[in-house]
Amino acid sequence: MINRAIIGACTIGAAVLAAGASAQSAPAGEAAPTAETAPQTAQGDVAITIYNNNLALVQDVRQLAIAQGRSRVEFPDVSAQIRPQTLSFAAAGTTIIEQNFDYDLLTPSKLMEKAIGQTVTLLRTNPATGVETRERAKVLSVAGGTVLQIGDRIEVLRDDGLPVRVIFDRVPPNLRARPTLSVNVDSSRPGTRPVSLRYLTGGLGWNADYVALYNEAAGTIDMQGWVTLTNNTGTTFHNADTVLVAGDPNGGGGRGSFGDRGMTRAGTQAASRERLGDFYLYPISARTTIANAQTKQVSFLDVQAVPAKKIYSKEIYFQQNDEQPANVESRIAFSTSRDQGLGDALPAGTVRFYQRDREGTPQFIGEKGIGHTPMGSDLSLVTGDAFDITVKAEVEKRETITAAEWEKSARWRVVKNGQVVEEGTLERPKTFYRTTMRYTLTNAKREGVEVQLIQTGLGNNWWSDDFRIPSEDIQGEQLNADRRRYIVPVPAEGERVIRVTYETRY
């Protein structure tokens, strides 16, 4: 008896790709499959450990009957992105001889591809009369389209709106309905026993998403943390015991540098979560089914009234000359500490901030990505540019000064670690520079604000790090050899101009 596979399509050109739904539909008069009548999975007791870098460890224990001596055992419902070289197989009294992974899945396009050189049946329906006609056709090619030989003529399946179905005589033996792993084993005894599979796979990943409700009047945020879990393995994992690992084990890949992730001070507090080596574990409390092509979210953090404050900030490069004012950054600063913060280590992810409007409705005000953040860290996350607050940096004056004038400001010399770190016989440069920077800050709000102004570019080169500041309208704080910070009060609906003079060798 011939096993026939039928593919239907509404249009000829889409006959291969669009017909998958009809191949799965129930015959006339029969109910469509439901969750209760659908075939059960071949998986057993499944445990999954999922890492951040699109990598997962799957451990599957199945009860299987194994014959004595050499036999072939198949494991359907494994990940289509399995790394076969990572497979570990264990069964009592059994050794593995060979393994094969069949991942050429049964799809309409694969059916047509495997039919090259074979004969299929075309079933055409006249849209006016409903009369069906059948023709036998030989598949010549599927490169860029399906080319058929029908009798003495060559025909291309086209997208001309006429209903066509392609009927295959059989399913090719090397196509699988589900990803299947097969192993050849040698068993010392017959009988049913637990068989343990363990392998690494791509296609499973997770990241953290945070929802933060900022209360500006109270100076707090309410933070919820969500695990966003994705499955693109081609396989559904049923009732799995799932653990998430925050960290990037070296697997030949990784996500690379995060760049600016807003952490101004790294924490030194140990979180109470379980560790695996140098990584934190985030177990999902109950077993869960991770369906293929699904995104699932699970809550792991819910903290109320964490102290937070808004910071306006702008970085200015040395000798920056703006043609027009630039909006400052709006940041929200908070801590992950045990006492005055979130009290947890934060996996890498995206923090999305909301704030209530006059009617009490939360509105989105910005988002920022963070890297893996230890507990006790200070974060200052950019939410966007402040509409009403600007800074315009200008070089108000730049002139050369003599060596004698340079020496007059020697009291401002930067000394590293309390001692001279460089000596030599070369003469000092004969040309020195005095630069006056003017910063104009404006504020269109009804209340005064403070702007964090950071002057960068002071540590220009190793030979020119000896800079001095003879005068500054506001006392600055030297953050490091390159950066100096000024906290500038700007009045409500007003303007503030400050000047700083630098003497440098560049």
Task: Note whether 2 and 121 are same-domain residues.
Answer: yes
pLDDT for the residue 36: 46
Task: Confirm whether 318 is domain-assigned.
Answer: no
- Percent helix, strand, coil in the chain, to 5, is 5, 55, 40
pLDDT for the residue 314: 94
Task: Note whether 336 and 409 are same-domain residues.
Answer: no
Task: Note whether 115 and 215 are same-domain residues.
Answer: no
Q: Which two tokens stand for residue 5?
A: 């596979």
Task: Confirm whether 320 is domain-assigned.
Answer: no
pLDDT for the residue 176: 59
Q: Which two tokens stand for residue 417?
A: 């670690």
Q: Distance of CA 500 to CAs 125, 435, 456, Å?
A: 84, 8, 13
CA 199 to chain centre: 23
Element (DSSP H or E) covering residue 349: strand 349-356
Instruction: Find the CATH number of the domain harbouring 450.
Output: 2.60.40
Task: Note whether 262 and 159 are same-domain residues.
Answer: no
Question: 181 near 72, Cβ under 8 Å?
Answer: no
Question: 146 near 102, Cβ under 8 Å?
Answer: no
Cα separation, 499 vs 477, whole angstroms:
15
Task: Note whether 365 and 391 are same-domain residues.
Answer: no
Task: Note whether 159 and 250 are same-domain residues.
Answer: no
| Neighbouring C-beta atoms of residue 239, cutoff 10 Å | 14
pLDDT in tens, the chain (506 residues): 334 343 443 333 333 323 333 333 333 333 444 444 444 788 899 999 998 878 999 999 999 888 999 988 888 888 888 888 888 888 899 888 887 765 555 567 777 777 787 888 888 887 778 788 888 888 888 877 788 888 888 888 766 566 777 887 777 666 555 667 778 888 999 999 999 999 999 999 898 999 999 999 999 999 999 988 899 998 899 999 999 988 766 654 444 444 556 676 666 666 666 677 778 888 887 888 999 888 888 888 899 999 999 999 999 998 999 999 999 999 999 999 988 889 888 988 999 999 999 999 999 999 999 988 888 899 999 999 999 999 999 999 998 887 777 666 655 455 577 766 565 434 445 678 899 999 999 999 999 999 999 999 887 665 556 678 899 999 999 988 888 999 999 999 999 999 999 988 77
Task: Note whether 50 and 186 are same-domain residues.
Answer: yes
Cα separation, 445 vs 450, whole angstroms:
12
Task: Note whether 131 and 35 are same-domain residues.
Answer: yes
Total domains, the chain:
3
Give residue 272's domain range.
Answer: 204-312+326-386
Task: Note whether 131 and 213 are same-domain residues.
Answer: no
pLDDT for the residue 80: 84
Considering 169, 200, 231, which residue would you say is the last residue of a domain?
Answer: 200
Cα separation, 289 vs 295, whole angstroms:
11
In this structure, are strands 468-472 and 326-335 parallel, antiparallel, or unpaired? unpaired
Q: Distance of CA 231 to CAs 60, 166, 349, 436, Å?
A: 17, 32, 18, 58
Q: Which two tokens stand for residue 374?
A: 């230890």
Considering 200, 226, 244, which residue would you say is the last residue of a domain?
Answer: 200
Main-chain dihedrals φ then ψ at residue 344, nearest 5 degrees: -160, 160
Considering 337, 361, 386, which residue would you say is the last residue of a domain?
Answer: 386
